[in-house]
Structure formats: structure tokens, C-alpha cells
Chain A
Amino acid sequence: MTDFLNALVALTNFVIVPGMAYGAQLALGALGVTLIYGILRFSNFAHGDTMAFGAMATIFITWTFQAWGISFGPLPTAILALPFAIMITALVLLGTDRVVYRFYRRQKSDPVILVIVSMGVMFIMNGIVRFMIGVGDIRFSDGERFIISARDFKAATGLKEGLAIKTTQGITIVTAIIVVAILFWFLNKTRTGKSMRAFSDNEDLALLSGINPERVVMVTWIIVGALATVAGTLYGLDKSFKPFVYLQLLLPIFAAAIVGGLGNPLGAIVGGFIIAFAEVTITYPLKKVLGYLLPESLEPDGLVQLLSTDYKFAVSFVILLIVLLVKPTGIFKGQSV
């Protein structure tokens, strides 16, 4: 029995908990990408750097709060700073839209041109973030670090394996649930949300029925700003903030959005978890787990690893390819790419 528990705990500690937290972060990022794709109709490559910008705003405000002596008890101060950072990020996005995207929208430019434009925005944002906060690693998580630490868990249960759940992992999952619930309520129940969905489904009909396109665009950017800030901050809290990494996050985020179905919010969430768990599970060596479960004579000598961790990105992209080949619209019906 203890062997079984040990195996379960090892699996939870190294696969399920990290997979859940990473999946939630990807899902929040993918939601932003998918909203832009659905409503503004282009793939926004600047999203990774928008997340970096949002996280940077959170960090500056967190520092201000810490200087003032405001803290949030056992939770990170950054959570208090989030609403303000969201406002700043949303304003910046609206400014970008006014200065850059609106011009191309009025020209009725092809989506591919907007994609290239968003890459330009990506590089500029990337530069601004590095310029303002620097290129190094920044840890801004304060308060309690663990809900359960591996050492305490071992002491409390007497098991050989430890289970660690970080505060940031807990916050990530809880926040993601709250944000997603609010988003879905907004899209499905409010008048503005419905007009956004109408605009997404059929732009011409939406315009005919008197929906103000500029307002839809504005609300979209504000929501995207909020999602990007929350995703960027949660990611930074859980790991650490480094501008370079946010650029790299773009790949798994897009993979998640496309696998789930671009333009479909529910798909973005499912896609995020699929990509995260694919990366973690397929490369996890079962040596330890099997070592607990199997009788001694059958214990494996090797690592019992399906694929070496070198191939973890290949895994997400194989999933992406299969989805695009078999069901180009994604698992949940989104717009085809």
C-alpha cells in the first residue's frame, strides 16, 4: 500500500502538479491569442511580449507597494498589483491599436500583413521591456513559498516521496479558474460579450445589426490586456521573470490555441492543458513509479522513458501537425488556419 502511495505521490509531484500549473499558464496565454484571432482576425505574435509587458508593470507596482510596506499576508504582493498593471497594459494595447493596427484595419489589409505588423510590434515591445526593467532574471514572488513543501510532506506522511505544491501553483490554478469563469460569463451573458461573438462569427452581419466595430475592438484589447497581464504575472511568479523567456513562450501558446481551435475560447483552455501534459508526461521516465509498483524481480534497470526530454517540443509539434492534418479547425471547432 505504501508503495502504491509512493508511486502516486511521485507521479503527482513530477507530472500532475507541474502539468496543471503550466497548463493553466498556457491556457490563459492561448485565450488572449484566440480572442485576437477570433475578433480581430490575425495571429498576434506580439502576445508573448504583451505578457512580458504586463508582468513588468506588475513588478514595478509590486516594488512600489513593497516600498510602501503594503503586503498581502501569505500571498504574493503581486496579486494586489495585478489590477493596476492590467489597466496600464490595456492602455498600452489601446495605444498600439490606435497608432498601428487601426491603420491596417481601415486599409482592410490581409491578415498576413497584420501578422507581420504584429511581429514589428513584438520586437518594439520586447525592446521597451528590456530597456525598462533590464534583461536579467527577476524574482518578485514574496509571502509563503509553499502550500506543502516536499520536506514537510515527507515528515507528515512518512512516505519516501515528497509532494510539493507551491503557493504560486495554487494561485495560478485558482486565478485561471476565476479569470476563465468571468470571461465566459462576459462573452455569453453580457450585451457587449454577445456583440463581440457576433462580430467574430460574421463581421458584415454584425455591422448591419448596428454593432459599433471600434467599441468591439476596444473591449477586445482591454480583455486581451487583462489576460496577458494575468498570464504573464502568474508565469513570472511561478518561475521567474525574464523578458527573453516570454518570447519563447509564444510557441507553446500558439500550439495550444491551434490545437484547441483558433478563435474558440474553450479550445484554448483544453489546448493549453494538452500541450502542457504532452510535454511533461510523454518524457517522464517511469523507473521510479514502476519501481514502487512492480515486485522486486520485475524492477526495471533502464529509465523506462518513452522519449528522451530532448524531444519534448517535438511532441507538442507532432500533436499540432496531427491536429492540422486531421482536423484543421482544431479539436473544438475554431476557424481554420
Chain B
Amino acid sequence: MKKLMMASAATALMASGAFADGHSEIKMGVILGFTGPIESLTPPMADGAELAMKEVTDSGLLLGGSSVTSVRADSTCIDAGAATAAAERLVSADGVKGIMGADCSGVTGAILSNVALANGMVMISPSATSPALSSPDDNGLFFRTAPSDARQGVVMTEVLMEEGIMEVAVTYTNNDYGKGLADSFQAAFEAAGGTVTISAAHEDGKADYSAEVGALAAAGGERLVVAGYVDQGGAGIVRSALDTGAFDTFHFPDGMIGASLSEQFGDEIEGSTGQVPGTDSPGVAAFAELVGDAFDATSPFTPESYDAAALIMLAMQAAGSAEPADYVSKIEMVANAPGEQIFPGELAKALQILADGGDIDYVGASAVELVNGGESAGNYRQIVIEGGEISTVKFR
């Protein structure tokens, strides 16, 4: 009897699975480092992506009323093996139709080459910024709503030069992101006539950074550039540099800019500068309004996450299919001009335009413009620490 019930239950499950196919539910993978060095940045990022999915589902317009559900997976940010396994699970077990992610450059490259290419899966990363990802052999499957750090290196140089700083020490987190950014910055800074006294790596999550700070202090420089993570070694370096009096002011690239920077250091780092991808386009305000109090809309890469998820769904609508092979060619089309400009909260309108055969230019929360084979052109918000708070100087 028990066996019979089990069997019928299993049959019912399988049958419902078969019927569920068609146009009712599309799964999208959200693979971010929910544990690991940027674990405090990722929750709002995932919320951003899921907000876009909810907006699309609620509109009931995607591919004749499909709903989009999110399947979260942990990229760990640093462990390529774990990230690959998680992405593999998303594709083979969960059957996702697109991947929003991954976050850190190293694991993103690993997932791209091991999982996405093998399965023809589309990936849009909201935050992988390594220059190395600009030219991988990606079969056109990889996009990012974050700009390459080659651009950030140039912006950083401009900011420092305008402040009249000609000599800096650089420390970077020892991974694809840190190394790529440090190298592109050093090249740009030296080309502009500046001097990099030392470019030293630091490992994340280590117990003690006195050795690194000792080396940086011995090399000297007017300012310390910390190309690291605010939840990780980057903060340790800054803390140790401040405590030993090695450096008073710093320059922070995107990985270091977060709420915990001002919480931890406040006015101790008064006068420090930095830049983070950002824009003054109306999309930012629209996004903040859309999010309300649900989560922190200004947390780094959160707008980019919303945009990455939105782009996948809009491309599906443009292609009339949720299959990656069908919609991949539409991503750049919906992201770039010509067409009606689309801001956050207007996804329903965009879906309708696409359904009617029109064209859209998705601007979104981060002023998306895909160039150079699928990466964001890059707008940066220049910041300064003033009165212990991160405040915006201007956009460039």
C-alpha cells in the first residue's frame, strides 16, 4: 500500500512537472558571494536583481504571462571550485535560463569558462570589473553592467592628478580584480607622469597586516591607494596604516566604498578620495524611489544588479523566447539606442513596447550602455570623505 502511494505520488509529481513546462515559470540564477570577502555587499545586490524579477512577474507581460523566479547560489567570491559547482547546479539541477552574476572577477571567469560556455548559458555580471574579462573567448555569452577597471584606472589617475598628488603607494587584494585594477592604474598614472613607489599585494582575510603596512610605509608616498575590499584585507590595511601613522589619507576604488568604510573609520580618513561606478542619470533616483526602504539602493553594484536581471528578461521578450541561444543576440539591442529610454520601474512599459514590436534603449539604474563586446561604458562617482561621511564630488 505504502509503495503504491509512493509511486502514485511520484507520478503525480512528474506529471505536474511536465505540465508546468510551457510559459508559466522561468528560473533565473542569482550567483553572488553570499559568504566570503564581499558578503556584506551581496544581499542588496541579490535584492536588486529580485526586485526586477518581481516587477516583470507582476506585470504579467513577459512572454505571454510568464513568471520569473530567482534561484540563489553562493559564488563565495574567491573559491573557483565552489562557484563552478554552484553554477553547475543552477544550470543542470535548477534549469535556469540565464545567470545574473557572478560577482568577483576570478569566480566569474571560472564560471564563464567551465559552466556558461559548456552549456551555452548567458551570464550578466553586475560587478566583475577585471580588464581580463574584456577579451575572453566568451562566444558572446558574457556581459557586464559594470565597467572594466581599465577605465577605472584612468579615472583614478585623473582624480589624483587634479588633487595634485604625484607619488602614491599602491596595495591591492591578491586576485583578478585587485591585480587588474592595480596594473591598469599604475600604467595610467605613470603615463600621466606620476610615480608609484610600491605596488604590493595583500591577501584577504588574514590575521595581521603589519608586514604589508611596514613595506608600504617604508616605500612612502603622499597617499595610499587601496585596491581591496572594504569587508576584508582592505579595511585591515587602512586600520593598520592609520594606527601606525604610516598614511593619513587614502584613495579608494570601488571595492572599498561601502557603508562600512565610513562606519569603521569615519573622520579618521578625512580628506581621502575615491571613485565608484555611478551616475547622475535620473535612473538612480527612480531606482531609489522604487526600492523604498526594502533594502539599501545605494549599496555598491545594487543598481547594476537590477539592470543585469532586467536586461536578461527584456532580451527574452525581444527574442520571444526564454532560451539563452535565442535571446543572447538581443541583449545589446535592448541595452543600447535607438529606442525608447527605459528607467527603473518602467519594465512593464518596456515589455509592452517589445511585445508590440518596438525598440527600447534600456538606461536603467546605472545608465547602461554596452560597449566593447558587452560591457558597461563606465560612469564614475567621485567621492571624498568629509566630516566622516562619504560625499559625492562629481560624476565623470
Binds B, one of A85-93, A305-313, A317-325: A305-313
Chain B interface, number of residues (Cβ within 8 angstroms): 37
B35 is an interface residue with CB less than 8 A from chain A:
yes
**Contact between chains at B201 and A283 (CB < 8 Å):** no
**Contact between chains at B218 and A288 (CB < 8 Å):** yes
Chain A interface, number of residues (Cβ within 8 angstroms): 47
- With CB as the reference atom, state the residue of chain B lying closest to A286: B218
Number of A-B residue pairs, CB cutoff 8 Å, is 121
Binds A, one of B95-103, B107-115, B242-250, B386-394: B242-250
Please name all residues of chain A whose beta carbon is closer than 8 Å to the beta carbon of B240 when the two chains form the complex: 18, 239
**Contact between chains at B235 and A309 (CB < 8 Å):** no
Please name all residues of chain A whose beta carbon is closer than 8 Å to the beta carbon of B206 when the two chains form the complex: 245, 248, 313
**Contact between chains at B40 and A285 (CB < 8 Å):** no
Contact check: which of B202, B236, B239 meets A309 at CB < 8 Å?
A: B202
**Interface residues of B, Cβ cutoff 8 Å to A:** 35-37, 39-40, 174, 198, 200-203, 205-208, 210-215, 217-220, 231-232, 235-236, 239-240, 243-246, 260, 264
**Contact between chains at A151 and B245 (CB < 8 Å):** yes
**Contact between chains at A14 and B208 (CB < 8 Å):** no
A227-255 toward B: CB 8 Å interface, digit per residue (1/0)?
Answer: 00000000100011010110111001000
**Contact between chains at A164 and B244 (CB < 8 Å):** yes
Please name all residues of chain B whose beta carbon is closer than 8 Å to the beta carbon of A137 when the two chains form the complex: 231, 235, 260, 264
| A to B CB contacts below 8 Å, 23 in the list | A13-B245, A15-B214, A18-B208, A19-B210, A22-B210, A137-B231, A150-B245, A162-B244, A239-B239, A240-B239, A240-B264, A242-B231, A244-B36, A244-B37, A248-B207, A288-B217, A288-B220, A308-B201, A309-B200, A309-B201, A309-B202, A310-B174, A312-B211
- With CB as the reference atom, state the residue of chain B lying closest to A252: B207
Please name all residues of chain A whose beta carbon is closer than 8 Å to the beta carbon of B215 when the two chains form the complex: 283-285, 303, 305, 308-309
**Given contact pairs A239-B208, A245-B205, A287-B219, A280 touches B214 in the complex (Cβ within 8 A):** yes
**Contact between chains at A287 and B218 (CB < 8 Å):** yes
Sample of 15 more A-B contacts, CB < 8 Å, known A25-B207, A312-B212:
A19-B210, A149-B245, A239-B236, A239-B240, A244-B37, A245-B205, A248-B205, A249-B207, A279-B211, A280-B208, A285-B198, A285-B214, A309-B212, A309-B215, A310-B174
Q: How far is the CB of A17 from chain B (nearest CB, A)?
A: 8
Q: Which 4 A-B pairs have the closest CB atoms?
A: A150-B245, A18-B210, A14-B214, A162-B245
Please name all residues of chain A whose beta carbon is closer than 8 Å to the beta carbon of B201 when the two chains form the complex: 308-310
Q: How far is the CA of A137 from the CA of B35 in the complex (A)?
A: 13
Q: How far is the CB of A315 from chain B (nearest CB, A)?
A: 9
**Contact between chains at B246 and A14 (CB < 8 Å):** yes
Interface of B, helix, strand, loop or mixed by DSSP: mixed
- With CB as the reference atom, state the residue of chain B lying closest to A161: B245
Q: How far is the CA of A242 from the CA of B198 in the complex (A)?
A: 28
Please name all residues of chain B whose beta carbon is closer than 8 Å to the beta carbon of A239 when the two chains form the complex: 207-208, 236, 239-240
**Contact between chains at A313 and B214 (CB < 8 Å):** no
**Given contact pairs A135-B40, A284-B218, A285-B215, A22 touches B245 in the complex (Cβ within 8 A):** no
Q: How far is the CB of B233 from chain A (nearest CB, A)?
A: 10
Contact check: which of B40, B219, B239 meets A136 at CB < 8 Å?
A: B40
Interface centre among A136, A151, A162 (most CB of B within 10 A): A136
Please name all residues of chain B whose beta carbon is closer than 8 Å to the beta carbon of A248 when the two chains form the complex: 205-207
A166 is an interface residue with CB less than 8 A from chain B:
yes
Contact check: which of A22, A136, A149, A154 meets B207 at CB < 8 Å?
A: A22
Q: How far is the CA of A18 from the CA of B205 in the complex (A)?
A: 18
Q: How far is the CB of B147 from chain A (nearest CB, A)?
A: 27
A194 is an interface residue with CB less than 8 A from chain B:
no
**Contact between chains at A150 and B244 (CB < 8 Å):** yes
Q: How far is the CB of A52 from chain B (nearest CB, A)?
A: 12
**Interface residues of A, Cβ cutoff 8 Å to B:** 10, 13-15, 18-19, 22, 25-26, 135-137, 139, 149-151, 154, 162, 164, 166, 235, 239-240, 242, 244-245, 247-249, 252, 276, 279-280, 283-289, 303, 305, 308-310, 312-313
**Contact between chains at A14 and B218 (CB < 8 Å):** yes
Q: How far is the CA of A239 from the CA of B116 in the complex (A)?
A: 40
Please name all residues of chain A whose beta carbon is closer than 8 Å to the beta carbon of B37 when the two chains form the complex: 244
**Contact between chains at A303 and B231 (CB < 8 Å):** no
Q: How far is the CA of A286 from the CA of B236 in the complex (A)?
A: 23
- With CB as the reference atom, state the residue of chain B lying closest to A162: B245
Interface centre among B198, B203, B207, B243 (most CB of A within 10 A): B207
**Contact between chains at B219 and A164 (CB < 8 Å):** no
Please name all residues of chain B whose beta carbon is closer than 8 Å to the beta carbon of A289 when the two chains form the complex: 218
Q: How far is the CB of A148 from chain B (nearest CB, A)?
A: 10
Please name all residues of chain B whose beta carbon is closer than 8 Å to the beta carbon of A309 when the two chains form the complex: 200-202, 211-212, 215
Q: How far is the CB of A233 from chain B (nearest CB, A)?
A: 14
Please name all residues of chain B whose beta carbon is closer than 8 Å to the beta carbon of A26 when the two chains form the complex: 207
Q: How far is the CB of B225 from chain A (nearest CB, A)?
A: 16
- With CB as the reference atom, state the residue of chain B lying closest to A149: B245
Please name all residues of chain A whose beta carbon is closer than 8 Å to the beta carbon of B260 when the two chains form the complex: 136-137
Q: How far is the CB of B224 from chain A (nearest CB, A)?
A: 14
Contact check: which of A25, A136, A162, A284 meets B214 at CB < 8 Å?
A: A284
Q: How far is the CA of A199 from the CA of B143 in the complex (A)?
A: 63
Q: How far is the CB of A264 from chain B (nearest CB, A)?
A: 22
Please name all residues of chain B whose beta carbon is closer than 8 Å to the beta carbon of A252 when the two chains form the complex: 207
Q: How far is the CA of A289 from the CA of B155 in the complex (A)?
A: 35
**Contact between chains at A14 and B207 (CB < 8 Å):** no
Q: How far is the CB of B145 from chain A (nearest CB, A)?
A: 25
- With CB as the reference atom, state the residue of chain B lying closest to A246: B207
**Contact between chains at A166 and B210 (CB < 8 Å):** no
Please name all residues of chain A whose beta carbon is closer than 8 Å to the beta carbon of B213 when the two chains form the complex: 14
Q: How far is the CA of A149 from the CA of B268 in the complex (A)?
A: 13
Q: How far is the CA of A25 from the CA of B206 in the complex (A)?
A: 14
Please name all residues of chain A whose beta carbon is closer than 8 Å to the beta carbon of B264 when the two chains form the complex: 137, 139, 240
